[in-house]
Structure 1
Amino acid sequence: MNLLVSTDWLAAELGKSDLRVIDATMFLPQHGRQARTEFETAHIPGAVFFDIDEVSDTSSPLPHMLPSAEKFASRMQALGLGDGSRIVVYDNSPLRSAARVWWMLTLFGAHQVAILDGGFEKWQAEGRAVESGKPVVRHRHFTVWADKTMVRDMKQMTDNLRTKAEQVVDARSEGRFLGTEPEPRPELRRGHIPGSKSLPYNRLFNEDGTYKSKDELADLFEAAGIDLSQPTVGTCGSGVTSACLAFAAALLGQPNMAIYDGSWSEWGASPNTPIVTGA
């Protein structure tokens, strides 16, 4: 199974015993939409709903931080996701949140995880089958494991200011990166991590929500000043849209981009972290 699968491919594979489909849609408060409600109204047949806010470290003051490996495994088992599953993730969100769940599943040890190119919007536009209601699932075993080399914390990001061992690429809008646009969370300072580069996640996609070609993606990283053959960390507002950058890097044969999980929700809230505004 490829990292990125088409709607044609998924339609042909639906119903196979080892295939699992996840709706990873999430919204921010300003979107005025409810992801779970929309899922129960219509979703790809057989899909289960992955609640990014709930499958997180709910004791953290930061939004949807990674949960423990044990909590993640427990939630995946309850969703009927287990060892040996081929998993396809999709969303219907302007945040392209499927990439966050792809990253989480990969970090926690799932071996075959793909994203549906174009997501639910493309699926519906093509008139494909949908179903409603809550799915009935059978618990399966999900082995507890975590690859923490894929995640960075504030200390590592602060140390990197000195060592410059890793490139840092920011998936937020250019205005937020420059500090000319307000942050969605008004308590946060504006600007970006010193030395980081800007590559807004929405530039990775075509108008229909599909990922751009590999050549186009490579050109975007190059234009942003990022050499994907070198160690790279993605950051964004709260660790969701930076996963799009990590997924694009994986499509280009570089699967080891880490993500700063706290991202700007943590960095911009601290009174002690250095911040740069402007280009």
Structure 2
Amino acid sequence: MESLVSTEWLAGELGADDLKVIDATIFLPGAGRDARTEFEAEHIPGAVFLDLDEIVDTSNPAPHMLPPAHKFASRMQSLGLGDGNRFVVYDNSPLHSSARAWWMLKAFGAHYVAVLDGGLQKWKAEGRPLESGKAHVRHGHFTAFLDKDAVADKAYVSGLVHSPAHEIVDARPAARFAGEDKEPRPGVQPGHIPGSRNLPQGELFNADNTWKRGDELRAAFYDAGVELDKPMVTTCGSGVTAAVLLFGAHLLGKNDVKLYDGSWSEWGADPSTPKATGPA
């Protein structure tokens, strides 16, 4: 199974015993939308809802930090997701949060994981079937082992500030990166990690919400000043849209990418970290 699958492909695979479809929609605080409520109103048939706001390390003050492996395994099992399954994740969010679920599943050892190209937006635009209500699942067995090489922590990123040998790429909108807009979470200063590049995650998508591919995708990184031959760390507000950049790099065959899980919610809340404002 490819890392990015089409709506046509998924429509043909729906109902397969080993296929599990996951809605990983999430919204920014204050967006005025509730992902679980929207899932229960309409979702792809057979899908389960993965609550990215809940599957976190609650002992860490930064939002969306990866949970311990046992918690991740427990949540997957409660959703009927198990070893040997093929997973297709989608979303209905401007944050393109299915990439975060893809990254989490891969980081915890899942082998067959794909993102639905175009998400629920494209699925609905094509008039494909939907269902409503809560998902009905039978518990599965999911074995979770975290690949620590997939994750960058604050200490690691601190060692890369202004390093000419690495790229730090921020997925937030330009105004947030520059420090012109207020951060959506209290106690977080505006700005960005010094020396980082800014590639707003929405730049990786076409008008129909499908991913750019090939030269167009590569050009998005190039136009942001990102040198793809260097190892990369992706960052954002809380580790969600950082996964969009990581997945985009993956589509280009680039696999030396780590995700800074704490992202700006951790960095911007720490008075000891260096901060910059203005454009990259």
Distance change (3 Å), C-alpha of 1:223 and 1:162: closer
Q: Distance in 2 between matches of 1:80 and 1:107?
A: 19
Match status 1:41 vs 2:25: no
1:245 match: secondary structure: helix
One-letter amino acid of the counterpart of residue 10, structure 1: L
Please state how far the C-alpha of 1:255 moved relative to its aligned partner: 2.6
1:68 and 1:131, CA in 2 relative to 1: closer, same or farther beyond 3 A?
same
Match in the other structure for 1:95 = 95
Q: Which amino acid aligns with 1:236?
A: C
Match of 2:236 in 1: 236
Q: Which moved more, 1:121-130 or 1:219-228?
A: 219-228
Name the structure 2 match of 1:21. Answer: 21
State the match for 1:106 in structure 2.
106
Percentage of pairs with the same residue: 62
Displacement of 1:123 in angstroms is 0.8
Displacement of 1:186 in angstroms is 4.4
1:73 and 2:73 correspond: yes
CA contact (8 A) 1:99 1:243 kept: yes
Counterpart for residue 124 of structure 1: 124
Write the distance in 2 (CA, Å) between the matches of 1:103 and 1:211.
16
Q: 1:63: which partner in 2?
A: 63
Q: 1:1-279 counterparts in 2 under 5 A? A: 1-161=1-161, 165-279=165-279
CA contact (8 A) 1:87 1:113 kept: yes
- List per-residue Cα deviations over 1:183-234 (Å, max 9, x = no partner): 2224221211111111010101112211112211101112222222321000
Aligned partner letter, 1:274 = P
TM-score normalised by length of structure 2: 0.96
Does the CA-based 8 Å contact 2:55-2:72 persist in structure 1?
A: yes
SS across alignment from 1:222: helix
Q: Please give the alpha-carbon distance, in whole angstroms, between the structure 2 residues aligned to 1:24 and 1:163.
A: 34
Question: Structure 1, residues 121-156: CA drift from partner, whole Å, max 9, x if none?
Answer: 111111111111112112121112110111111111
The unaligned stretches of length 5 or more in structure 2 are none
Residues paired across the two proteins, number? 279
SS in structure 2 of the partner of residue 30 of structure 1:
coil
Deviations 1:8-59 (A, max 9, x none): 1000000011100000001123210111111111110000000001111122
Shift of 1:182: 1.9
User: How much has 1:162 moved relative to structure 2?
Assistant: 6.8
**Cα separation, 1, equivalents of 2:73 and 2:244:** 23
Q: Which runs of 4+ in 1 moved over 3 A?
A: 162-165
CA distance in 2, matches of 1:70, 1:165: 35
- Partner Cα distance (1:66, 1:133) in 2: 28
Give the secondary structure class of the aligned counterpart of 1:88: strand
Letter in 2 for 1:123: W
Q: CA separation in 1, counterparts of 2:195 and 2:162?
A: 10
- Counterparts of 1:105 and 1:76, CA distance in 2: 9
For the Cα contact (< 8 Å) 1:247–1:255, is it kept in 2? no
